[in-house]
Structure 1
Amino acid sequence: MRTGHPLREPKAPRIPKTLAPATDADVNVEHDGKYLSVAYGPVTIIGNGAEDPEFERCRFERTWFSGVTLHRAGFADVEFSGADLANARLFNSRMFTTTVTNCRMTGLQLPEAGLRDVVFDGCRADMANFRFAHLRDVVFRDCNLSEASFQNAELAHVRFERCKLVATQFSNASMNDVRFSGCDLNGVRGVTSFDGAIVAGADAMGLLDALASALGITIEH
């Protein structure tokens, strides 16, 4: 039985105690914009397809990103809390040393993204898209990831804790020290890509039907 070693917690974002309140210029994201040490409250981010914006040491609290399109956006040492990221399109973007807490992420698009030292905690992320993304030292905790897609993603040192992963897609994903504990894995797709994963015994039953289907086995109930 593969047990592995304990995974370290992702690094916490380093955010100054004092941040500048967001101005209209901070809300209207522009090409190559640099947004440093800004406190975004309940405002609506306007992206309009901006390319290569960088957010560093920022806090987004109840901020609306819903429907925004950004290309190659960078987020480093950032906190999202209660933000609405539903259907935001963050193409080829990067998140480093970031926490995402109690956020709405339904339909969030993060294809080909790079994520490192990121914690998603208590988020609704059903139908989110992480296809072809690279995830390293990432934790999903108490998240709803039903029908999300990690197709062709590379996952290393990633933990899924108490997550709903019903019909989540992992086809052609690569897994290195990826752990599932307390998760609902019923109907998970791409189960043959779980080589390199560690699944808690209580979670394994949720994989039974998917494994049987992949092996051409019919289970009579």
Structure 2
Amino acid sequence: MPTPTARRRQKEPAAPKVPASLTPARLPEHDLENDGSYRAMLFKSLDLSSRRVRTPEFEGCSLVDTAFAGTEMHRAEFTDVELGRCDLSNMRVRSASVHRAVVSAGRLTGAAWSECAFHDVVFDACRADLTGFRFSAFRTVVFRECTLTEANFQDADLRGARFERCDLTGAQFSNAKMEGTRFADCTLAGIAGVTSLRGAVIRSQDAWGLVHSLAGAMGITIEDAS
């Protein structure tokens, strides 16, 4: 019988269910607003930056080349959505739910997604340096070929997350829950909170990047050969 860890390894995130026919979104008619409901819509090449909204809902939507830079959202819901080449930099998102979503080739630099719930989500080829995911929970989530340098996963529940070919240099994992979290072909140099990786599964070639972080956490001094 496969172990729980093995089952998590084999499971892939469910794909978003986006309708074949979508209504094109236009401004100002479909601008972001409090309690706004956006269903089966195509947001293409729109500028939705610097908005501040509460409880917006996106369901069955495709968002392409759309900018949310600096936008603040509280208790947003994203269900069955695809985000392609969107600018999500410096967003402030709190207590959001993201279910069955793909975020591809997006820019998340400096964004903060705190106390959020991610379920069946793929982040593919995203630039997410300095992005914060503090106190967020990840269930069947894959980060694939993402730049996550100095990303902050402090106090996050990463037991359902997988990282593939990601650069996690200087990332923060203090107090994170990571039993069963998987890392494959990732750069893990200089990460903080390394002791929180207890129970994680790491490929042997990736483990070398943890040597100095682990030594520092254990008070071990590593000297170069003279």
Residues 59-80 of structure 1 show CA distances to partners (whole Å, capped at 9, x for unaligned) of 0100001111111111000000
SS in 2 for 1:123: coil
Cα distance, 1:157 vs. partner? 2.1
Question: CA–CA distance in 2 between the matches of 1:3 and 1:136?
Answer: 14
Indicate the SS of the match to 1:205: helix
TM-score norm. by structure 1 comes to 0.96
2:96 paired with 1:62 = no
Q: Which amino acid aligns with 1:185?
A: L
Structure 2 CA distance, aligned partners of 1:203 and 1:214?
18
1:174 equivalent to 2:183? Answer: no
Gap regions ≥5 residues in structure 2: none
Per the TM alignment, residue 48 of structure 1 is displaced from its structure 2 partner at its CA by 3.1
Q: State the partner residue of 1:36.
A: 39
1:122 Cα offset (Å): 0.2
Who is 1:188 aligned against? 191
Q: Once superposed, what is the RMSD of the aligned Cα atoms?
A: 1.5
Q: Distance in 1 between matches of 2:163 and 2:140?
A: 11
Cα deviation 1:146-169 (Å, max 9, x = unaligned): 000000001122110000000000
AA aligned opposite 1:91: R
* 1:10-159 equivalences in 2 (<5 Å): 10-25=13-28, 27-46=30-49, 48-159=51-162
Q: C-alpha separation between the residues in 2 aligned to 1:170 and 1:214?
A: 13
Seen in structure 2, the aligned counterparts of structure 1 residues 175 and 26 have a Cα distance that, compared at 3 Å, is: farther
Query: 1:194–1:44: structure 2 CA closer, same or farther, 3 Å change rule?
Result: same
Question: Which deviations, in whole Å up to 9, do the C-alpha atoms of 1:182-207 show, x marking residues without a partner?
Answer: 00000011010001200000000000
Verify the 8 A CA contact 1:29 1:47 in the aligned structure 2.
no
Does 198-207 or 153-162 show the bigger shift?
Answer: 153-162
Q: Cα gap change, 1:181/1:67 in structure 2, threshold over 3 Å: closer, same or farther?
A: same
Partner of 1:8: 11
3-state DSSP of counterpart to 1:15: coil
Is the CA contact (8 Å cut-off) linking 2:23 and 2:41 kept in structure 1? Answer: yes
Cα distance per residue 1:26-72 (max 9 Å; x no partner): 64211111100000000011563211010000001000011111111
Instruction: Using the TM superposition, give the Cα deviation of residue 90 of structure 1 relative to its aligned residue in structure 2, in angstroms.
Output: 1.2
Gaps of 5+ in 1: none
**Cα distance change on mapping 1:183 and 1:126 into 2, 3 Å:** same
**Kept in 2: contact 1:53–1:72 (CA 8 A):** yes
Residues 49 and 69 in structure 2, CA contact (< 8 A), matched pair in contact too: no
- Tell me, yes or no, if the aligned pair for 1:26 and 1:35 is still in contact at 8 Å: no
Which amino acid in structure 2 is aligned with residue 105 of structure 1? L
Alignment partners' CA distance in 1, 2:29 and 2:217: 49
Question: How does the TM-score come out when normalised to structure 2?
Answer: 0.94
Amino acid at match of 2:15: A
Conservation of the 8 A alpha-carbon contact between 2:51 and 2:70: no
- Give SS of 2:63's match: strand
